[in-house]
Structure 1
């Protein structure tokens, strides 16, 4: 029986990523980095994005090689130095020693079709009442439903326990969480969940059930 919830699917993806990394057959550095993020669950790419934003002091949305390395190391991703430099060079197209943070993150997160992205945006817009591109942790807690989680249904975990765990995904990589979640954070999280679900209709149903769309 398939559980209609993202927690089970996320766990499956983490296990798959760990097995893929362990077998040593993945050679492309970008694929290795993506799997490293998956092995940390849905918080992996969100955490990396937040770690990069912390270092973007001037708001330029660019990263030097040193900052790029620091972000990857700070959240505990196991990528060797040569692979990090290889990835950086791919994105430093003009050779000026910096890369565009957002362009890199869009390529890092797994590909999604338009219908899945639309489901994510609909859910985010439902929460973003004032249309400023940000939602609060409180907004998320109020709108998100844990009713389909098997551990909630079995009584193993309370609604509060599950909400705390869920919210931590969006605070990953932030030394001083500000209680705000951007649309990119939201999409980065659900892009990982999306990668764990093969069927478009199933993914749409997960989103509808989670946010009562």
Structure 2
């Protein structure tokens, strides 16, 4: 687990639950419900939608959209869901682009934050192929300090895999972390940190940038 993230996650979840009672904006309510599950909340919803997208069209119709929200146990009534769907279905085609949907759902981040997140990603992505895998981690992440490695419970690869699972979605852990997943994870962390300066210091310390 990355330094500080567990604490930030708890703080963010509490904050999100508190703000939920104050807002009536349906998109913001959905965002807060995701954040109330921690940093991986929005990414998890994305994975649910991806699983439903049988024909790989990367779009959802209203029925799929509502089913996705229900499968992810989001507390949203049909009227609210219709309102959210209408906001995203800009051309009135009856389908929404779920990549665009997830990007909008992500808490907004300044360019300075996005840049430091990408620096960390590039450092971890040793092979430069846009995906972080166990192979990439061998040179940059020391598994030998991990308590489960030290007491013999886990091999080095198991430590790496657990590390990647932090960033991967709970529904589809494939041991690969894409730029989008990494960015989504940190959008969640970022939501709990008020100032850019503090966020950047945290990232620099965590990844020795």
* Distance change (3 Å), C-alpha of 1:26 and 1:35: same
Residue correspondence of structure 1 range 1-213 to structure 2 within 5 A: 5-21=4-20, 24-136=21-133, 139=136, 143=140, 164=162, 167-174=165-172, 177-213=173-209
Residues 47 and 171, structure 1, Cα contact 8 Å, conserved in 2: yes
Structure 2 Cα separation of the partners of residues 169 and 98 of structure 1: 29
Which stretches of structure 1, 4 residues or more, deviate above 4 A after TM superposition? Answer: 137-146
TM-score by length of 2: 0.82
Structure 2 Cα separation of the partners of residues 87 and 142 of structure 1: 44
Structure 1 Cα separation of the partners of residues 44 and 182 of structure 2: 12
Q: Which has the higher contact order (CA 8 A, sep 6+)?
A: 1
Structure 1 Cα separation of the partners of residues 11 and 164 of structure 2: 17
- RMSD over equivalenced CA pairs, Å: 2.7
Secondary structure of 1:188's counterpart equals helix
Note the C-alpha offset of 1:167: 2.1
* 1:76-124 deviations in Å (ceiling 9; x for gaps): 2222221111101111111111111111111110111111000111111
* 1:151-181 deviations in Å (ceiling 9; x for gaps): xxxxxxxxx89x848724523232xx32211
- In the alignment, structure 2 segments of 5+ residues that lack a partner are 144-157
* 1:47-89 deviations in Å (ceiling 9; x for gaps): 0111122222333221111222222222222222211111011
Aligned counterpart, 2:150: none
Aligned counterpart, 1:155: none
- In the alignment, structure 1 segments of 5+ residues that lack a partner are 147-159
